[in-house]
A and B are shown apart, each in its own frame.
Chain A
């Protein structure tokens, strides 16, 4: 039960982080293949 709970929590936390990263990249611009489109000023694409 404990193991199940830890795994579920771990997957959930990672999934939330992944979705936030995807949204952050899309908000700043679109990044793929080492290039980013649309990032402006201080909002840098994560590299």
Chain B
């Protein structure tokens, strides 16, 4: 019978931990939140070495203090009985920076295996790491791996499986070649030994802890935390030793750890100064004080260009498929003698609605592929650095721009990313402005209306939506900052990883997750919304009707027209589509297909038909532009609203947020419409 083993993966951000984790688990992930907090928890399961292995991906962190939720969650998990072995993933090309976390992990007293990742980069730079001396100095197995090239993965897992029972000092293979300088000689017991003064204090605190808390484990770690005046440990295990803990020793302990790290680096790392010259050269351009932002806008324009051109080319095949399916279904249903009402539901409701959304899959695919490429290449971290100047003028740190960038993909993970901001006020500010960033769900609306009304300028018009969203977000943040002048306490401290060729596996898994989610949304939310839309448009006070103008939908739409008329959207069908779009933004497009009775709305013929219908009602270019602006800015979709509620912990905040966005959307669209009429 197989035994169970739980392995926790931990490491600094950008050390390749996720790539390594994905290499083991593939796309077989489960995502949840750690209990009681909003930090994401990712788990996978594999079978190896006659073991059922549960892999848990802990949040990327530089240390294990108790300042942030990520650190607290990681620390609690490691200390719990849930985990058997920790795999500490370190970027071997930046070993000095990564070893601080390693030393903290060793003090936790759980079995640790150090995975030296990115060894291919180390080799490329001509650096060498003495992988025999390093385990001697740390007292744990050290396994060189390259997650990207899938080298060393089996060896790493083998080491973890065999190291799981190594908690006793006998398992440490550690000896200095130097005679110990200290009176205390713990070098055969612990990798990290402090100066005599600190070790004396640790001994005294340990004695007191043993007396007061006889059931506690790992006295040494608790003693070190008490010396650091760690908030959580000080509250849970107070001791009265005012002469010993006479001040905060955190900086002393940190400094001594870094002294030891320097000793390690001197002994194990050869040719450490060979930095990646290419990264430096590229960064001179991409993070330039003046050109950094225009380059960022240019890169986003390229992303958009690819989304439109390649995406549209692939979209053509999807359109043909949906058109054929629609015709086949219609003919088949007629031949089978199916009731006309049911035929209308299937063809004009479900196929038109869901099919209309599915044809945009290629554009969505290209957009997420490009974003994944930028993320994995290391460029996205530069954007936060580049935007630091603007963000600090808005009272925020450059780190606040990271959720905003994520908003280009989807508002849900973008709002979740605001957790990285330690300041609660900044988190709420970012949650308020992030939905203005144009998410991928709005892309079908832009593509449809821009291509219908702006033809050769379609791409430019659609790209302008992204710029308008960014501009509105910045303006709103500026206004909030003018009202609330308190500056953000979050100073930007961000690691800029080396540029690298994105891992095809990481990108593929990332894009597949997004595509799967899009298809799931089409098959659930869009499907249900299409049926509901069909029902309200084909049933009225007199029952089933083929005249849409007599339907419940038309009645509702006409009620809403006075609200939308001043902003150029005084058409009842558009009003109904916008209300439906609150369930999911793509529903605006699928609703138009049902509302205007255009089955294959994305085909050339479908668009011509729709343009004809709209133009006949007086809906022109300006109205189309206003519609896109309103869709960009108004109430986010139901999933985003639920996320805002969860992350803010307040239904009131969610409702205020939604109302705020509606008001901003209306005002901005009003201004655009009036300027358009004037021109």
Contacts and interface: CB of A to CB of B under 8 A. Distances in A.
Interface of A: 3-4, 7-8, 11, 14-15, 18-19, 21-22, 26, 29-45, 47
B72 interface: no
A21 B528 CA distance: 11
A36 to B, nearest CB: 5
Contact of A33 (B27, B43, B337, B517): B517
Contact of B413 (A11, A22, A35, A43): A35
A21 to B, nearest CB: 5
16 contacts: A11-B346, A14-B527, A19-B524, A19-B528, A21-B524, A33-B411, A34-B517, A35-B40, A35-B416, A36-B31, A36-B33, A37-B38, A38-B642, A42-B32, A44-B31, A44-B43
A11 B350 contact: yes
Contacts of B38: 37-38
Interface string B206-232: 000000000000000000000000000
B31 A45 contact: yes
A28 B640 CA distance: 14
B93 interface: no
Contacts of A15: 527-528, 531
Interface in B306-362: 336-339, 342, 345-346, 350
Contacts of A19: 524, 528
Interface string B505-547: 0000010011011001101110110010000000000000000
B30 A47 contact: yes
A21 B638 CA distance: 15
Contacts of B531: 11, 15
B517 A37 contact: no
A38 B646 contact: yes
Contact of B412 (A21, A32, A44, A47): A32
A35 B412 CA distance: 7
B639 interface: yes
B123 to A, nearest CB: 33
Given A21-B520, A33-B411, 7 more contacts: A18-B525, A32-B639, A35-B31, A36-B32, A38-B643, A38-B646, A39-B32
Contact of B517 (A7, A14, A22, A32): A32
Given A21-B524, A43-B32, A44-B31, A37 B646 contact: yes
Contacts of A14: 527
A12 B646 CA distance: 32
A42 B32 CA distance: 8
A42 B38 CA distance: 15
B339 A4 contact: yes
Interface-centre pick from B35, B43, B439, B527 (highest chain A CB count, 10 A) = B527
Nearest to B641: A30
B358 to A, nearest CB: 15
Question: What 7 A-B pairs come out closest when comparing CB atoms?
Answer: A33-B410, A34-B513, A35-B413, A30-B642, A32-B412, A39-B32, A38-B646
B88 interface: no
Given A18-B523, A30-B642, A38 B33 contact: yes
Contacts of B646: 29-30, 37-38
Given A4-B339, A37-B38, A37-B647, A47 B528 contact: no
B29 interface: yes
B61 to A, nearest CB: 19
A24 to B, nearest CB: 10
Contacts of A37: 33, 38, 412, 415-416, 642-643, 646-647
Given A38-B33, A40-B32, A4 B412 contact: no
B409 interface: yes
A2 to B, nearest CB: 9
B418 to A, nearest CB: 11
A5 to B, nearest CB: 10
A27 to B, nearest CB: 10
A33 B350 contact: no
Interface residues of B, number: 50
B524 A18 contact: yes
B440 interface: yes
A38 B642 CA distance: 9
A31 B412 contact: yes
Contacts of A41: 32, 35
B497 to A, nearest CB: 21
A31 B32 contact: no
A22 B525 CA distance: 7
A33 to B, nearest CB: 3
Contacts of B30: 44-45, 47
A11 B532 CA distance: 13
Nearest to A39: B32
A21 B38 CA distance: 22
Contacts of B637: 32
A39 B337 CA distance: 47
Interface string B25-51: 001011111111010100100000000
Nearest to A29: B646
A46 to B, nearest CB: 8
A46 B41 CA distance: 14
A45 B517 CA distance: 12
B561 to A, nearest CB: 30
A33 B440 contact: yes
Given A37-B643, A40-B35, A3 B513 contact: no
Given A3-B338, A44-B30, A33 B409 contact: yes
B126 to A, nearest CB: 38
B411 to A, nearest CB: 7
Contacts of A26: 638, 642
A34 to B, nearest CB: 4
A40 B345 contact: no
Contacts of A4: 338-339, 342
Given A15-B531, A19-B528, A31 B339 contact: no
A45 B32 contact: yes
Contacts of A21: 520, 524
A47 B524 CA distance: 14
B32 A33 contact: no
